[in-house]
Structure 1
């Protein structure tokens, strides 16, 4: 396992988390630390244990074993102690469509128990942070998907948490809103907030995250900076070939070739890790065409985070 530590004092510290659902060991001995001003990316394919881990970290689910400490306070589902240090932005929108953006924020500020004057000031600040000041009076049913996502983040920020948990905050948003969200996250970590970020977009993780944990089958199998993780698979190249037709026999031949580290699938394409992808390309194409497959575009790239993920899990991130 690749492990990198952060020198900053941890805002969130998770130790030895386990969670079972019947025969399924959904989370298996997960430990992680997130420091002040650090954005930590938790990446994994569907069913890897991300949501269960987040639920235990946010105090929504009781772990079978292990501890969660945020800002020095143990977090337990049956206790509200320490919850004020956590801001959770779920993947599902948690806003009221019949209320305006300003009214949504004011409502949640009241739930947090903020005095009226403090709440009014904080709502104004958050509207500015999420770029919705000019739409503050509009009902959120008229908001675009990206605007709703930004408001969702604003609700999580209202009480100035020490730890912000963002669960795939850019799903289904337009490019402009997506960039606005990413800029907001960058600013938050720059102001000293600890951020736990999950995403299905590798480029987001590479842009935002100081460190990344890769979780698969309930276990964190690697952790480190992007540079540390990519270095872990050596100087292999990633060859992506769009292909149609039967490829099973060709895949077996390709996997058996010298210098081929791994072969996987990603959206109607083969993704191959090789020590010298360009050198192996003619033989790879030969195996595919001999099997009757039709080849589309071909792309050869140096190691990146996506290559690491495929190498470690045998799956594309979106699987």
Structure 2
């Protein structure tokens, strides 16, 4: 569906995209992750031919993407993070307007608009203007405007920002339904659990480069952390901490306010070894947790934990 090879985009001395390579297959929900300033938005704008780039190639649906390639642009739907609708128009009129940019036949467009309204669950709000909608309903209107013309490729940039859990669940279910109906989807979000829930493959980009690509299982196998053990309400002396640190497969230990956190490689019986040691030393403790790595763990280990502007 999308093939990006050695894409370079510079803003003066700043290199926003540094020989970026990405391949997105037809039928995927492809997660695009990266810290602030990593190049995600620049990459999307280049895909859409909204930005000129310095080097590289972009092919969408087998054709080179150019500003005047309207045949390809008609098959793309875009839902941006900032809601982009007209306050002067009703819900129905907004969806009809954006659909009309692609579909000129009025009869066909009417069916598509009604289908989009049903798809996002806005049947009771067709005559309401955007200012009267809640944040969740406004997000759903934004999605309807971007997908009413039934595009083959849909780009969703942070579509669930600042919405309630019910609206978020409705949006995620809708994205998966769009995918089942044949749309390829590019999904960006800072909510790692959403990406882990719906994306078939994920790319993490940083400093304008693709640094990891794969399924969530493949990405988790790329990092050192295989298990995180947390033990609460435990009083430990420095000798105990030194002993536990020396146990096999433990590579990071933290102890704060009687909470012990251990990061271990993906070996078996890590928890048993720790509990056996505590039993031998007659050390009482409270609750114990053992967690497998999440996509958030992968993201932080690959891109670093320092704050970004």
**If the TM-score is normalised by the length of the shorter chain, which range does it land in?**
0.7 to 0.9
Counterpart mapping for 1:1-40 below 5 A:
11-40=1-30
Cross-structure match for 2:151 = 161
Residue 99 of structure 1: which of 69, 84, 89 is its match?
89
SS at match of 2:74: helix
Alignment partners' CA distance in 1, 2:272 and 2:94: 54
Distance 1:138 1:210, change over 3 A: same
- The yes-or-no answer on 1:217 pairing with 2:185 is no
Distance 1:24 1:272, change over 3 A: farther
- The yes-or-no answer on 1:203 pairing with 2:193 is yes
Residue 302 of structure 1: which of 292, 302, 307 is its match?
292
Cross-structure match for 1:60 = 50
Residue 218 of structure 1: how far off its partner (Å):
1.1
Is there any run of 5+ residues in structure 2 with no aligned partner, and where?
Answer: 233-240, 255-259, 276-286
Residue 35 of structure 1: how far off its partner (Å):
2.1
Contact 1:73 1:81 in 2 (8 A): no
Question: Which one is further off, 52-61 or 78-87?
Answer: 78-87
Alignment partners' CA distance in 1, 2:250 and 2:43: 34
Cross-structure match for 1:185 = 175
Contact 1:18 1:29 in 2 (8 A): yes
Q: Rg: which structure is higher?
A: 2
Residue 54 of structure 1: how far off its partner (Å):
0.7
Distance 1:273 1:53, change over 3 A: farther
- The yes-or-no answer on 1:126 pairing with 2:116 is yes
Alignment partners' CA distance in 2, 1:196 and 1:317: 25
SS at match of 1:82: helix
Cross-structure match for 1:171 = 161
CA deviation map 1:196-220 (0-9, x unaligned): 0000011101111000001111111
Query: What TM-score results when the alignment is normalised by the length of structure 1?
Result: 0.78
Residue 112 of structure 1: which of 94, 102, 109 is its match?
102
Distance 1:12 1:106, change over 3 A: same
Residue 217 of structure 2: which of 223, 227, 250 is its match?
227
Query: What TM-score results when the alignment is normalised by the length of structure 2?
Result: 0.80
Distance 1:197 1:117, change over 3 A: same
Residue 86 of structure 1: how far off its partner (Å):
1.2
Alignment partners' CA distance in 2, 1:47 and 1:128: 36
Contact 2:103 2:149 in 1 (8 A): no
Cross-structure match for 2:78 = 88
Alignment partners' CA distance in 1, 2:150 and 2:301: 38
Residue 299 of structure 1: how far off its partner (Å):
6.1
Distance 1:318 1:146, change over 3 A: farther
Residue 138 of structure 2: which of 134, 144, 148 is its match?
148
Alignment partners' CA distance in 2, 1:141 and 1:30: 40
Alignment partners' CA distance in 2, 1:183 and 1:37: 16
After superposition, the CA RMSD in angstroms is: 3.1
- The yes-or-no answer on 1:75 pairing with 2:75 is no
SS at match of 1:141: helix
Residue 318 of structure 1: how far off its partner (Å):
8.6
